[in-house]
Amino acid sequence: MQALVIAAHGSHLNPDASDPTYAHADTIRETGAFDEVREAFWKEEPHFREVVRTLEADEVFVVPLFISEGYFTEEVIPRELRLDDWDPEKWDSDGTSASQATLEADDVGKTIHYCGPVGTHDAMTDVIVQRAETATGDPAVGEGVGLAVVGHGTERNENSAKAIEYHSERIRERGRFDEVKALFMDEEPEVDDVTDFFESDDIVVVPLFIADGYHTQEDIPEDMGLTEDYRLGWDVPAEVDGHRIWYTGAVGTEDLMADVVLERAADAGADIGDARETVRDIAGSVADADHEPSAGTGAGD
């Protein structure tokens, strides 16, 4: 038997914070690839501390639903899961290259494959591109369009910026968009000046965040000048300094994220059969059916 645990932050204050976690877990449940699929949280229940004991499988794949390698993925999650032999060195990562480490959970005697975060997986690049497609409602979006990938920045750790730059570079190499830029909330180049960095009239802005909340639904739309007050919402696209800005919200809510979770587990040795095709079918059909861009609304803490 094999089980999948999706480890996310969650919130004590905002009931929507866990929505993407549940949605991606449900998509993977539909594939039947794992005998058990469980959501686990730092701020909700089941807590990281108690999730593994709820599983019957002996082999458990833990995939952190986090953007970058850092405090949560390297310190908090392994500690709370009781992975006593954990050491960040086991990932042997340059900041974006963690794949997995195989460990024993002390309280349950199960084998835990502790995977790198979803945010740094190569498949995440596709999710960012898909978000650009769903934001514009154009499955071929790219020509004549600039893409800004937005991240938090270095406030807590340098790997946060590395993940943003990593995917921006990969998308740039594909040559699909006229311009690709990595922008940040709290360091240069800043998202506030988004229009300064692009010549293209149309700019798609994709925030590399897991869940919608304060940053993606309040800070960023106001900082970019999409709206005076996030509570009033904004247009997609919105006119700013002669550019049209296509902005919806956190990339982590994109349906294709379930595919990244699956890939992380597969890289760690999970037998997922043809689950990826199923997920891509589900995500693709949702993207087709739901291509009308909608104005953002405020939410969360």
Task: State phi, psi for 176 to the nearest 5 degrees.
Answer: -75, -40
Question: By CB under 8 A, which span of 68-76, 95-103, 178-186, 282-290 interacts with another protein?
Answer: 68-76
Query: Which of 4, 7, 11, 134 is in the footprint of another protein by CB under 8 A?
Result: 11
Query: Which of 94, 107, 271, 290 is in the footprint of another protein by CB under 8 A?
Result: 107
2 binds another protein, rule: CB under 8 A: no
158 binds another protein, rule: CB under 8 A: no
- Smallest gap from residue 257 Cβ to another protein (A): 18
CA 142, 163, 102: angle at the middle one, nearest 5?
125
**C-alpha to C-alpha distance for 90 and 116, rounded to whole angstroms:** 11
Which residue is listed with tokens 């922008």? 183
Per-residue CA distances from 203 to 131, 167, 218 (Å)? 13, 17, 19
- Smallest gap from residue 86 Cβ to another protein (A): 14
Question: By CB under 8 A, which span of 35-43, 139-147, 160-168, 246-254 interacts with another protein?
Answer: 35-43
The amino acid that residue 57 corresponds to is A
Tell me the Ramachandran region of residue 82: left when phi exceeds 0, alpha when psi lies from -120 to 50, beta otherwise: left
Q: SS3 for 44-94, per residue? A: CCCEHHHHHHHCCCCEEEEEECCCCCCHHHHHHHHHHCCCCCCCHHHHCCC
174 binds another protein, rule: CB under 8 A: no
47 binds another protein, rule: CB under 8 A: yes
Query: Which of 32, 58, 75, 273 is in the footprint of another protein by CB under 8 A?
Result: 75
30 binds another protein, rule: CB under 8 A: no
- Smallest gap from residue 153 Cβ to another protein (A): 18
**The 110-115 sheet, strands edge to edge:** 36-41, 2-8, 59-64, 110-115, 100-105
104 binds another protein, rule: CB under 8 A: no
Question: By CB under 8 A, which span of 51-59, 139-147, 200-208, 215-223 interacts with another protein?
Answer: 51-59
- Smallest gap from residue 226 Cβ to another protein (A): 27
42 binds another protein, rule: CB under 8 A: yes
Q: How far is CA 32 from the centre of its chain?
A: 22
For another protein, the binding residues (CB under 8 A) are 11-15, 22, 26, 41-47, 49-51, 53-54, 56, 71, 75-76, 79, 107
